[in-house]
């Protein structure tokens, strides 16, 4: 099994080395009741179709306990976040600014990318679904394990996945919304930190952007291909070097 070989290649990896204003433009976003916020995460549990990793997901509910029950992954639809018809009247620049500002301080991460760029990411993710990303903290790093099944990207701690397998809860979920890609040339990306005890919002944004870079940068993508297709040739130190992190 490919995934087993990938995890085996990381078995000797030191995965944890710790030393330890209201804007009128926002009217395009829909109102969110407290009950809908509570219910949004309770419906989010397991994972993605096909023979891929299945993670128990808590979706957008933060500070919650691990959910042992499984239901299909059901992220918030874009039309429950913004008024799509009103959004079509805004320029791409306005939408990018509004989307980013809207998520500031709300416990979520908002990013946008060009539709053509997303199509490249989607194409490459279909061939290379898994990756390991070091997250630097203090004088060491923890390693995140990523799985992509467009339009979703899910992250958990590598040690948690190795220890709990399909019962490992995601630390972070990311959804790519393409509904307005034809009219605005934008894809909206929303990240939800599942456990704030595991990741800060700043760390989550860095992980999302770094993961995307390994799919979009040709040089970095070669490392991702090696990780998925030529596991025996993969060296984690090459990822550290690509990210200008010391090899420890």
Confidence of residue 10 (pLDDT cuts 50, 70, 90): low
In this prediction, residue 104 carries a pLDDT of 78
Please give the torsion angle defined by the CA atoms of residues 16, 66, 207 and 218, in that order, rounded to the nearest 10 degrees: 100
Confidence of residue 76 (pLDDT cuts 50, 70, 90): confident
The structural domains of the chain, with segments of one domain joined by +, span 78-240
- The least confident of 3-7, 100-104, 144-148 is 3-7
For 58-75, what is each residue's pLDDT tens digit?
333 333 333 333 233 567
Mean pLDDT of the chain: 77
The Cβ of residue 18 has, within 10 Å, a number of other Cβ atoms equal to 10
Percentage of the chain lying above the pLDDT 90 cut: 52
Name the DSSP class of 187: E
> What is the average per-residue pLDDT within 229-248?
93
For 82-97, what is each residue's pLDDT tens digit?
888 889 889 999 999 9
Name the DSSP class of 105: T
Residue 151, preceding peptide bond in cis (omega within 30° of 0): yes
Rg of the Cα atoms in the chain: 18
Most confident range, picked from 17-21, 70-74, 117-121: 117-121
- The full length of the chain comes to 248
For 161-204, what is each residue's pLDDT tens digit?
888 877 888 999 999 999 999 999 999 999 999 888 899 999 99
pTM over 0.85: no
Confidence of residue 239 (pLDDT cuts 50, 70, 90): very high
């Amino acid at each position: 099994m490919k995934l087993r070989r990938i995890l085996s290649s990381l078995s000797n990896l030191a995965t944890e080395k710790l030393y330890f204003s209201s804007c009128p433009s926002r009217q395009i976003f829909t109102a969110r009741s407290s009950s809908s916020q509570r219910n949004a995460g309770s419906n989010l549990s397991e994972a993605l179709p096909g023979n891929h990793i299945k993670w128990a997901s808590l979706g957008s509910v933060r500070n919650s306990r691990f959910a042992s029950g499984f239901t299909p992954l059901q992220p918030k639809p874009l039309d429950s976040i913004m008024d799509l018809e009103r959004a079509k009247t805004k320029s791409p620049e306005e939408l990018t600014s509004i989307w980013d500002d809207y998520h500031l301080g709300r416990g979520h991460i908002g990013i946008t990318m060009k539709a053509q760029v997303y199509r490249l990411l989607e194409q490459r993710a279909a061939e290379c679904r898994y990756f390991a990303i070091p997250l630097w903290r203090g004088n060491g790093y923890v390693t995140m394990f990523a799985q992509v099944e467009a339009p979703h990207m899910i992250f958990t701690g590598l040690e948690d996945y190795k220890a709990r397998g399909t019962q490992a809860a995601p630390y972070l979920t990311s959804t790519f919304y393409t509904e307005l890609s034809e009219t605005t040339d934008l894809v909206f990306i929303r990240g939800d930190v599942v456990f704030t005890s595991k990741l800060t919002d700043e760390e989550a944004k860095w992980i999302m952007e770094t993961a995307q870079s390994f799919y979009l940068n040709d040089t970095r993508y070669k490392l991702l291909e090696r990780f998925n297709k030529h596991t025996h040739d993969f060296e984690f130190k090459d990822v550290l070097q690509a990210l200008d992190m010391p090899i420890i």
